[in-house]
């Protein structure tokens, strides 16, 4: 589960500013955003011997399979924040099992990195990816991840990205969306609460599933 951060206040109503749809040329920049926010919202660059593993596990499949649901923040300096999502979590999990995880498993077999390291945790995840609980997806079948570099935090741009995605998911017929967040990321938990998310499951060590009904 990625750790998702977010700002406290929103820009003026109707503001879209530097928010735009994702294009394939954004991938490298968004991978960097994922790494630079991958430690409870802080820079994870020094935690991994293979930093690319983090976005490969938590971001790449969304960009590959549902790029129309990805939006980025870019004021001319390149993409520095994003939201990604999937309309149908169960279908997404199944497609990842068919088309995303096999190549990564081949490139990073179990035992290929030292045990007990951050890299080993990611390798284990790609070999045994978590599955969202049935009671979570029953009413909240969509899910999302959002990450912003520090200069975008605190100005409401996380809210703008999320509301754009909420509108896309609702228009596609989704009744609800969920996400995973680390319990240690208290700022993110408070932020999602202000956006109407409620705790759906708190039984996983160190993590919460939060959900919001749509629209």
Residue-wise pLDDT for 170-213, tens only, equals: 999 999 999 999 898 888 899 999 999 999 999 999 999 999 99
Q: Is the pLDDT of residue 5 over 50?
A: no
pLDDT of 129 strictly over 90? yes
Whether the model clears a pTM of 0.85, i.e. scores above it, the answer is yes
Structure tokens at 214: 């749509």
Q: What count of other Cβ atoms lies within 10 Å of the Cβ of residue 10?
A: 16
Cα 114 to Cα 14, 38, 125, 210: the distances in Å are 49, 20, 15, 33
Quote the pLDDT of residue 4. 40
Q: Which residue has the tokens 């096999």?
A: 102
pLDDT band at 16 (very low <50, low <70, confident <90, very high): low
Question: What six digits make up the tokens of 135?
Answer: 């009671």
Percent of the chain scored above 70 by pLDDT? 93
Dihedrals φ, ψ of 7, to 5°?
A: -80, 170
Cβ 95 vs Cβ 129: under 8 Å: no
* Mean predicted lDDT score pLDDT of the chain: 91
Contact 79, 73 (CB under 8 A): yes
Name the strand (E) or helix (H) holding 80.
none
- pLDDT confidence tier of residue 11, bands split at 50, 70 and 90: very low
For domain 19-178+185-202, say whether CATH 3.40.630.30 is its number: yes
Mean pLDDT confidence for 32-53: 92
Give the residue with greater pLDDT, 184 vs 159: 159
* Paired tokens of 215: 């629209």
Give per-residue pLDDT as tens, 75-92: 999 999 999 999 999 999
C-alpha span between 82 and 92 (Å, rounded): 19
Lowest mean pLDDT among 29-38, 109-118, 184-193, 205-214: 184-193
Residue 36 CA, chain-centre distance (Å), reads 13
10 has pLDDT over 60: no
Phi, then psi, of 94 in degrees rounded to 5: -65, -40
């Amino acid at each position: 589960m990625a750790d998702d951060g977010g700002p406290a206040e929103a820009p003026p109503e109707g503001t879209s500013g530097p928010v735009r749809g994702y294009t394939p040329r954004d991938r490298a920049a968004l991978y960097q955003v994922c790494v630079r926010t991958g430690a409870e919202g802080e820079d994870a660059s020094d935690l991994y011997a293979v930093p690319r593993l983090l976005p490969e596990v938590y971001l790449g499949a969304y960009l590959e399979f549902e790029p129309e649901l990805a939006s980025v923040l870019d004021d001319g300096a390149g993409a520095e924040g994003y939201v990604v999502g999937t309309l149908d979590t169960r279908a997404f999990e199944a497609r990842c099992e068919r088309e995303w995880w096999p190549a990564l498993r081949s490139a990073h077999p179990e035992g290929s990195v030292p045990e007990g390291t951050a890299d080993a945790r990611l390798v284990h995840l790609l070999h045994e990816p978590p599955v969202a609980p049935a009671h979570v997806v029953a009413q909240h079948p969509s899910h999302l991840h959002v990450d912003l570099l520090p200069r975008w935090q605190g100005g409401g741009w996380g809210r703008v990205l999320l509301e754009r995605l909420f509108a896309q998911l609702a228009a596609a017929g989704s009744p609800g969306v969920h996400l995973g967040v680390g319990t240690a990321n208290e700022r993110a938990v408070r932020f999602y609460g202000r956006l109407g998310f409620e705790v759906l499951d708190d039984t996983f060590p160190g993590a919460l599933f939060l959900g919001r009904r749509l629209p």
